[in-house]
Amino acid sequence: MPARNRQEAALALTLYAHPFSSYSQKVLIALWENEIAFTYRTVGEEPGAAEAHRALWPFAKFPTLVDDGRTVAETTIIIEYLGLHHPGPVRLIPADPQAALEIRFLDRVFDHYVMTPVQEAVVAVLRGGDRDEAVAGAAPRLETAYGWLETHLAGRSWAAGEGFTMADCAAAPSLFYADWVHQIDDARFPTLRAYRTRLLARPSVARAVDGGRPYRHYFPLGAPERD
């Protein structure tokens, strides 16, 4: 689609999200990779945004995209939807079905085996649980994920190979926050550590991290000084 038409089509897009939320960042990275314009409604910060969001999506999980009246929820589905309806130069899911399957698989790995233990630890502390107990609960699961990723990422620039894909959109916030909960050990996981560093240097990811910076005091386990 020519740039002007892409911008016009994108004007109908509204994203309900929060800059510090990992899943919001996953979709923001996808939007920014292809410079897709959208209206940003900040859930929990902007008056009325949380209520409007809940009316659209009763589970109230964010981010949620609205495209010309159509509600699209769940980050993976949102990114798939953007690829179908607002394609740009960076193809986050390749046309080849086998290559796409690997990306969808890795997207699941980051969401289920990295982000989920992180989120559970964060939620436990937000609900008044003990910080050390929450970290101790997440650590063995993250160790398993780090070990698997260390092997799987060997020889790759990005999660699925040489191209930046939806799997990297999922990986960036997952690994960003996972390292805060249970640090990725340099000596045992050098490939994973280097991948995280590469992700953070990517402009769309750096922009997402910067957007979340003013909200670091929300992190209930205590945000570290690094990053």
Ligand X SMILES: N[C@@H](CCC(=O)N[C@@H](CS)C(=O)NCC(=O)O)C(=O)O
Nearer to ligand X, 169 or 192 (CB): 169
Q: Decide if residue 57 touches ligand X (CB under 6 A).
A: no
Q: Decide if residue 204 touches ligand X (CB under 6 A).
A: no
- Could you tell me which of 29, 11, 13, 32 has the C-alpha nearest to residue 21? 29
- 210 alpha carbon, distance to own chain's centre: 14
Least distance CB 154 / ligand X (angstroms)? 27
Q: Decide if residue 21 touches ligand X (CB under 6 A).
A: yes
Q: How far apart are CA 67 and CA 56, in angstroms?
A: 12
Q: Decide if residue 23 touches ligand X (CB under 6 A).
A: yes
Residue with tokens 């009246």: 69
Stretch that binds ligand X, among 17-25, 50-58, 147-155, 197-205 (CB under 6 A): 17-25
Both tokens of 203, joined, read 């402009």
Least distance CB 186 / ligand X (angstroms)? 27
Q: Decide if residue 113 touches ligand X (CB under 6 A).
A: no
E strands, the chain, in order: 13-17, 39-42, 64-67, 70-73
Nearer to ligand X, 22 or 204 (CB): 22
Least distance CB 108 / ligand X (angstroms)? 10
- Could you tell me which of 220, 224, 218 has the C-alpha nearest to residue 130? 220
**Candidate list 61, 91, 202, 207; residue touching ligand X; CB under 6 A:** 61
Three-state DSSP state, 119: helix
Stretch that binds ligand X, among 54-62, 88-96, 205-213, 217-225 (CB under 6 A): 54-62
Output Rg (C-alpha) for the chain, integer angstroms: 17
Nearer to ligand X, 32 or 62 (CB): 62
Nearer to ligand X, 57 or 146 (CB): 57
Q: Decide if residue 74 touches ligand X (CB under 6 A).
A: yes
The residues, ordered by sequence, that sit 6+ positions from 99 with a Cβ below 8 Å of its Cβ are 160
Q: Decide if residue 52 touches ligand X (CB under 6 A).
A: no
Q: Decide if residue 75 touches ligand X (CB under 6 A).
A: yes
Q: Give the end-to-end CA distance of the chain in Å, rounded to a whole number.
A: 37
**Candidate list 10, 14, 22, 109; residue touching ligand X; CB under 6 A:** 22
Q: How far apart are CA 172 and CA 226, in angstroms?
A: 16
Residues that bind ligand X (CB under 6 A): 21-23, 60-62, 74-75
